[in-house]
Structure 1
Amino acid sequence: MRIPRSELETDSASLEPRIGKRPECFKSTFHEISFVIMATLAMATNSIVTGAMIIVTSSIGRDLDMTQAQITWISAATTLTAGAFQLPLGQLSDLLGRKPFFIVGLVGFSASSLVLGFAQNAFLLNVLAGFLGLFSAAIVPPAAGILGAAYAEPSRRKNWAFACFSAGTPVGFGVGAYEAGSFRGRLRAGLGEFDVLGTALTVFGVGLLTTGLTLGPIDGWKAAHVIAMLIVGFFFLVAFVFWENHCRNPLMPLHIWKDRVFSLLIPISILGIIAMISSNFWLALFLQELQHRSALGVAVELLAQVISAIISNIVAANILHRVNNSLIMAFGAAMYVLANVLLAVQDPHAVYWAFIFPSLLTNVMGLDLQFNVTNMYVMQSLPEHQQSLAAGIFNMFIRLGTTIGLGISTAVYSSVQERVDQSGGDAFQPFKGAFYVSVGFAVLACVFVPFLRVGTQGGAVKRE
């Protein structure tokens, strides 16, 4: 039986108070779904880079006869460039147009990935990994900015869109051409508002600081160049904060840090992400070096995280508007602690299902629940014309934090490994030390949780 058009419109209208109205920029539901899928795939580039680096570092190191320092730099080079350029690229995409940046980033990311596969030495591999991080930083802020601008009003519809965005998984997709004339038309006016000095200070500051943290465990913390990088990088960042307080169009509007919820959500989320990414890095090496798994075997075992991510994001989309978000953040923090404790206390000869499998499930559970809460709040902290910048701020801290976490865990691993080599101790001890670093970060995040006060986000849209 054919349903009259008037009845369909009535049914659609009756759903709007409960789930939210479709943004006017979308001509149809199909258009809306297609856009959310593209944004989700853009977010997936982060997972592609992180997952690929974690899984293949050991085998690449063997094939190219790389030292442990060079192996560490495969991941460090990616996170270093991504963290350093996240803020300026976020502001530029807001000023010059998010769509051109999004498409150029996709093309650059694809090209870098292709060329990276042909690298035949450690130096070229690490340089190309840096370009991969750079283009990854160019993709996520404009994608998140478009998403945040489209779903400006809190609603259950927005919760679902952002949950899909957070649950991005690595799949291929094609990119179209963009209008160069439109980009050129915005270029002069946009660059006039771009924070050039802030960009220089943050790029050099983040770059020198994270490079020093990465080289410290390798060249020694007392090495002159390491000390110089740490000191100069620190003062560049201090100068950056001072300048941002006086700049007319700052890269990082400092007023957002006056929001207590924002200033607590960021460290809670970042510390948890540091714990997870660091433990994943050492878990992959442990599986390959001590349990002699192949890269493919490690990838298969890490698929448990994909299953957990899908379930966690579905749950998040359905509870953000119903459950106090402070409780969600607390639960996520507890999951991070549980996951990393399981890895630290595991029997290295135990079966996969005893320690590693539950750790993978709970680690991702903590990540996705906290990411949904934090991402929603961060995007609402800045106006529509700065949505890409908002995403850049969050992602910069993720990349910078990840680099710092890997630097600290590498220092612990190297220190314990040196003692094991001298005394002939248990080969698992260096990995155990690195896992306990992740436990420390996860526990530190819990310290901030009791002070957090954030209610529900999204929910039913009330009619005027």
Structure 2
Amino acid sequence: MSGPTGVSEPEQDNALEKQRTPAADDVPLVVPSLARCIMLTAVCTTAMAVNISNTTAVSIALPTIGRDFGIQQDQLQWITNAYALSSGCLLLTFGRIADVYGRKKTFLGGALWLFAFTLACGFVNDFLTLAVLRGLQGVGSSATIPAALGILAHAFPPSKARSLAFATFGAGAPVGGVLGFIIAGALTQYTSDTWRAVFYFCAALAGSCFVGGLFVIGPDPPSQEKDKRVDWLGSFLVTAGLTFILFILGQGEVAKPKQWGSPYIIVLLILGVFFIAVFMVWQSYLERLQDTPNVPYSIWTPPPLMRPSLFARARGRYGVQMAIAFLNWCAFLSWQFWAQLFYQEYQGYGPMLAAVRFIPMFVTGVLCNVFVATFVAHVSIVYLMAFGTLITSIASLLFAVIDPNATYWAFGFPAAITSVFGADFVFAGGSIFIAKLSRPHEQSVSGGLYNTMIQLGTSIGIAVSTVVYDNVQEMSTNKGRAPREAELDAYHAASWTAFAFGILASLLAVVFLRGVGVVGHKENKTEEEKDEERTAVISTGDGVRDKV
């Protein structure tokens, strides 16, 4: 297959690789000591925990916030959606900024921003201000997460240490999720500041990330790219498109007068899709120009924010991994969202009693990441992805058939245990896979893209299951079912929806990831294994050759 100049893509891209990213960029400039490696991983993992806890901790406090401000439940979602909007829409932009201008600078700036606006959330006295501050708060998260992934990928070359670092980073998700639930539940129910104490706690975590990063993260190495410009037009297009799409996903069910049929919802949906389409066309155009030798310098031809060819790497498996992450989070966060509502709104538990029911997630999450760190160099990624998403689907299946009169140990406990398998296997294993297929100067962009897919999965999963919930509840009521029975039917239907997302992710893994093999670094390979790798080389389509 030839590029625009008639030169084969591998030859053309290998030439570009030599010009822009020397092999030396694939290893840290200074090999960190064991103690610094541990502290560096701890700081980055804390950043992931802060990001997740800013969602789960606030969600458990939503009923209390609603009572304090006199806000209806259908509007309370903006306390979580505002954070999701900003944290999800700016990941790609900050990923590029981190790769070009410095990951440490981006990480520290994001952590400091997150600390300031998280603390500010605890002092507001009206709902609108809280929603606006939550939106500003998410900007900090969108800077820290891709920067953290880039920092880890640069600090740990392909090795067992990299597998352990990424698995530990992935463990920040269940740790942050469960800590968010438990500590927020206790603070909301037992302190005089109630929900405000939740924001004070999250601000303290963000502050610890800033202080730790200041001393632990090494100086930013100089970027090896000759052209260090940021594609600001592309940043605007993708941010605007994602903002419109995520906004309507959160607003569609409560829009007046016709919900999803309301004129402004339709207009914003069209605009969102249009901006994303234009963004992809623009990125393809810039990528072609960048890969064409001797292109004249122009302010209109910066390097693309994201190379569309990324999705075609490893015979399209890079894109498949993105889709699996998207669908898995559709399932996982939908289950989590409806489970905490089922416990509080249907069964009438307080925040703390609801929170303790998620404790098994913490234990299972840590064990899953220990498994990934230990066996990622021995277990094919197809098994991690397929079985992880399948086991996560079991949690939704259990709530799809749950008997509210049954003991917690019959449905709630096994659901809490199984729910995190997909999240941990997909995030940790998928992050290692994506890092392996990305150039050294693309690590933060790839991390930002991966987390964008996760954020989109969270929003779309909850939005779709909410539509199902509302319609099933209405249909059941129209059939003469009692209010409690109609509500239970709706909870069951929303859980079936989450189950379907997880099963689809599992099928994608089985069908498209076969033959990839292990993605972790295996030490002391035999000559037979080395020969198998040499014959199984797969072109990424961007001048990078990966043995996957």
- The question of a shared fold, defined as TM-score above 0.5 by the shorter chain, is answered with yes
Match of 2:495 in 1: 435
Match of 1:456 in 2: 518
- Matches of residues 20-59 of structure 1 in structure 2 within 5 Å? 25-59=30-64
2:171 to 167, 173, 176: 167
SS at match of 2:406: coil
Match of 2:416 in 1: 360
CA–CA distance in structure 2, aligned partners of residues 345 and 238 of structure 1: 40
CA–CA distance in structure 2, aligned partners of residues 298 and 46 of structure 1: 21
- Matches of residues 37-436 of structure 1 in structure 2 within 5 Å? 37-153=42-158, 155-168=159-172, 169-170=175-176, 172=205, 173=208, 175-176=210-211, 193-219=229-255, 220-247=259-286, 248=290, 249-259=303-313, 260-419=316-475, 423=480, 424-425=482-483, 426=485, 427-436=487-496
Q: Is the 8 A contact 2:253 2:466 kept in 1?
A: yes
CA distance 1:458–1:343, change in 2 (3 Å): same
Q: Is the 8 A contact 1:95 1:190 kept in 2?
A: no
CA–CA distance in structure 2, aligned partners of residues 374 and 178 of structure 1: 28
Residue 297 of structure 1: how far off its partner (Å): 1.8
CA distance 1:197–1:334, change in 2 (3 Å): same
Match of 1:11 in 2: none
CA distance 1:434–1:241, change in 2 (3 Å): same
Q: Is the 8 A contact 2:114 2:140 kept in 1?
A: yes
Structure 1 residue 445 and structure 2 residue 505: aligned? yes
Q: Which has the higher contact order (CA 8 A, sep 6+)?
A: 1
Cα-Cα RMSD: 2.6
CA distance 1:185–1:151, change in 2 (3 Å): closer
CA distance 1:366–1:174, change in 2 (3 Å): closer
CA–CA distance in structure 1, aligned partners of residues 227 and 126 of structure 2: 38
CA–CA distance in structure 2, aligned partners of residues 429 and 23 of structure 1: 55
Residue 207 of structure 1: how far off its partner (Å): 0.6
Per-residue deviation, residues 324-359 of structure 1 (Å, max 9, x unmatched): 121121111210221110011110122211111111
Q: Is the 8 A contact 2:94 2:146 kept in 1?
A: yes
SS at match of 1:245: helix
TM-score (norm 1): 0.89
CA distance 1:174–1:43, change in 2 (3 Å): closer
SS at match of 1:52: helix
CA–CA distance in structure 1, aligned partners of residues 42 and 276 of structure 2: 36
CA–CA distance in structure 2, aligned partners of residues 91 and 380 of structure 1: 18
Aligned AA for 2:262?
A: A
Q: Is the 8 A contact 1:205 1:237 kept in 2?
A: yes
Residue 227 of structure 1: how far off its partner (Å): 0.2
Residue 431 of structure 1: how far off its partner (Å): 1.8
Residue 265 of structure 1: how far off its partner (Å): 1.4
Residue 216 of structure 1: how far off its partner (Å): 1.4
Per-residue deviation, residues 94-116 of structure 1 (Å, max 9, x unmatched): 11111111111111111222111
TM-score (norm 2): 0.75
CA–CA distance in structure 2, aligned partners of residues 449 and 30 of structure 1: 37
Per-residue deviation, residues 228-274 of structure 1 (Å, max 9, x unmatched): 00001101100000001012411221111112221211111221111
CA–CA distance in structure 1, aligned partners of residues 405 and 132 of structure 2: 37
CA distance 1:318–1:183, change in 2 (3 Å): closer
Q: What's the % identity of the aligned pairs?
A: 32
CA distance 1:186–1:316, change in 2 (3 Å): closer
Q: Is the 8 A contact 1:198 1:251 kept in 2?
A: yes
CA–CA distance in structure 1, aligned partners of residues 28 and 102 of structure 2: 19
Residue 462 of structure 1: how far off its partner (Å): 4.7
CA distance 1:388–1:185, change in 2 (3 Å): closer
CA–CA distance in structure 2, aligned partners of residues 210 and 414 of structure 1: 19
Per-residue deviation, residues 157-208 of structure 1 (Å, max 9, x unmatched): 21111111111134832533969xx999999x99961011110100110111
- State the number of aligned residues: 439
CA distance 1:23–1:238, change in 2 (3 Å): closer
Residue 27 of structure 1: how far off its partner (Å): 4.0
SS at match of 2:157: coil
CA–CA distance in structure 1, aligned partners of residues 323 and 454 of structure 2: 10
